Structure 1
Amino acid sequence: MTAGRIAPVDLHACSLAALAGMIRDGAASSVAATQWQLERAARLDPQLHCFAQLDAEGALLQAEAADARRARGERLGPLHGVPLAVKENIAVRGLPLGVGIPAWRRSPCREDAAVTQRLRAAGAVLLGTLAMSEGGWAQHHAGEAAPSNPWNPAYATSGSSSGPAVAVAAGLCHAALGTDTGGSVRQPAAACGVYGLKPTWGSFPLDGVAPMAQSLDHVGLLARSAGDLDLLLSALGAPAARPEPLRVAAPAGMLDAWDLSASARTALARAIAAFQSSGVPVQVIDELSLAELEAATAAWLPLCAPAAWEAFRPRLDDLRAGPALQALLDAGRETSQARQEAASAARARWQARIDAVFAHTDVLLLPVLRHGPMQVQALRARGSDPSLVLPAMVFTAPFNLSGHPALAVPAGTNRDGAPVAIQLVGRTGAERQLVRLARVLETLENPAS
């Protein structure tokens, strides 16, 4: 197989922008790129388990149509002919909306989700849907193998958008869409060493996305570089960044009093140094404490669990939920109205608190994971009580509550070779500013030991 002037072995490794450019210029064909990704998936996915539905026939038909449009001289979109994929809770016409539940993979979707439509309008070829945890909660279905971390299979992939993170990290697709309700894009991205963006709530429509808790659900983006994220945002219709100076804030005590791993502390310190050496001012602020993040996370569950119960209740007869998902649904059914109202009030206070912090800065620098990726054995040993998940969400779930954009940025590896990441949180609508700052950190490639 050939791909114009480019050897096919290079296609999965080049950037999203580079591949789009090669296809647009005729240096590679969409069929060649798609066939290469399909062959790579056929070779690696039996070990990685990141695809829920790999639509080889449909993808090749899309690629052939993309090459024909180019040959006719038609106007091409920014992702023309590039093979991508989406999480299994995002509708793709002709494929089932499985949501990590095998019994729900019986009927194909008649229509694309709104974000899937945007990908197609930008010219993307859809390889299929990517695996996720059961119902989007804490464990994968017992009858299926969980996606395997390509860095080390002993490490968990740390969230429901595990299939997208593994696929992007392992080069099975150039970028992917996931969803993030409490950290489900950012945590797998951090665990797999890729970029994971949770945009501002409402930035991208949720039509055709299976809900868990719609007031917390966000469509998210995963890619291997800040530049690829920027291209994907453009293709999905996000507004351009304003060219303005940006200020970064780091909470006081974060580096010495927040019970972070040594590698997380090192990564954060190196990020501060990288910003300062690039002329980006970093200030230490007292306005945000670990206790406030923990309190916000505690308010997340009494809002998420009842919403999940309402979302899944119409299909309980064919759900056959595993213990973790069933425990979440039971908690949702049993959460009192008074507790939900108290959580809603806490959410409003938290939103006001974060808006007040952003009155004096532009971006918050935080961890994603307190101690890095969890070991698979530790994850399996963790009980099904939903509250046991909350300590791992303390740096991510608060920003689902507030709706502010947040970006997981790779920051090297620890001494054991596991990926390390930092998190940038921005003002409402500031996704592109976060990506701009992430470009400053792309030099953080050495181990954060």
Structure 2
Amino acid sequence: MDHFLYRDGVLHAEDVPLPEIAASVGTPAYVYSAATLLRHLRLFDEALAPLPHLVCYAVKAAGNVAILKLLGDAGAGMDVVSEGEYRRARAAGIPGERIVFSGVGKTRAEMAHVLRNGIRQINLESEPEMRALSEIAASMGVEVPVTVRVNPDVDAKTHEKISTGLAENKFGIPIARARAVYAEIARLPGLRAVGIDVHIGSQLTDLQPFREAYAKVADLTMALRADGHRIERLDLGGGLGIPYARSNLAPPLPSDYGALVRETVGHLGCEIEIEPGRLIAGNAGILLASVVWRKGGEGRDFLILDAAMNDLVRPAMYGAHHDIVPLHEPAPGAETAPYDVVGPVCETGDTFCKARELPHVPEGGVLAFRSAGAYGATMASEYNARPLVPEVLVQGSDWAVIRPRPSYEEMIGREAIPDWLAAP
């Protein structure tokens, strides 16, 4: 469910008509619904309510500090994968004790920074990282809570580029190595093992891979406790999918996922951490784009938009689907026609969809890409010297620009010509 609905024939974000935002901010632009973000966070809290838990929102999904503050004020923790994301979370007022540091390529500088400024735990991804963190923590005279991300070799049955739990993937330590790794942690200074971490992929639409992974984590928990380790937390990752096409069957609900967690690991007495990103932010955001030209081609017609792959890369990168709707609701039975919806970037890959049945939208008309809140703005770039897309947050009848579109002067002004290239 989201809060982008037609009212009197006009698409609204909560109580704000979207044509108002498009006219004021221009297009392309991302628009987020605070009510949807909070609703989805609450669904996870309710699903895990019988167990001690912390929902750590995955900052990489949509990392604007206004979104982080909204969720943090509602009690969310944060899952970060870089110093930059950590700094964003702290700028949003999230205390260090509610931030989990994940990621396969943490640098020594990043690890030192979070130790100086406060962290709930660091999820270790490799043995070299483990030893480096021990050296850093010992040199600072601190002890850092850690988990080990184990790779359970479970097929998440998702897109190959977002699968993270197979033996061939770069993430985590083979689960067969876990007992030896935890034994080494117990000997190393500056580290205190508090739990186990697992994450098998993103956009999962079936609970069975979770069931297989969590069963392995439960067995490992018992084995590690038998070895003398205090396993108090289980970080179960994120990955629950969302329905990108409204015509498709919906993926499992957070309540279904919560029931699975209770069934597979609830008996262990551990605090549960989860790291949802897509399910919280995905349906909470849309991308507004205007039709620049309607172009006829050989056997096909094109809608050329002012949004491009640099604004929303998911279709080009993953072949991802987004429902596309006009801001003004078509009349019942309105005629449709197949269009290739494309952007202005000089790449054939700058294509959002092919032969999509859409109602007539005139040049200058505005379309909305649904379910674009996750991995939209965070993956945007300035390719083709196109300014970064702005972001807008709506709450009830209020709305505000939370990231402005930079001017061309601001964009170019970040660059510098060296003295030896300056004109004489």
* TM-score bracket relative to the smaller structure: under 0.3
Query: Considering only CA atoms, is the larger Rg found in Structure 1 or Structure 2?
Result: 2
Higher helix proportion, which one?
Answer: 1
Higher strand proportion, which one?
Answer: 2
Whose RCO is larger (CA < 8 A, sep 6+)?
A: 2
TM-score by length of 2: 0.27
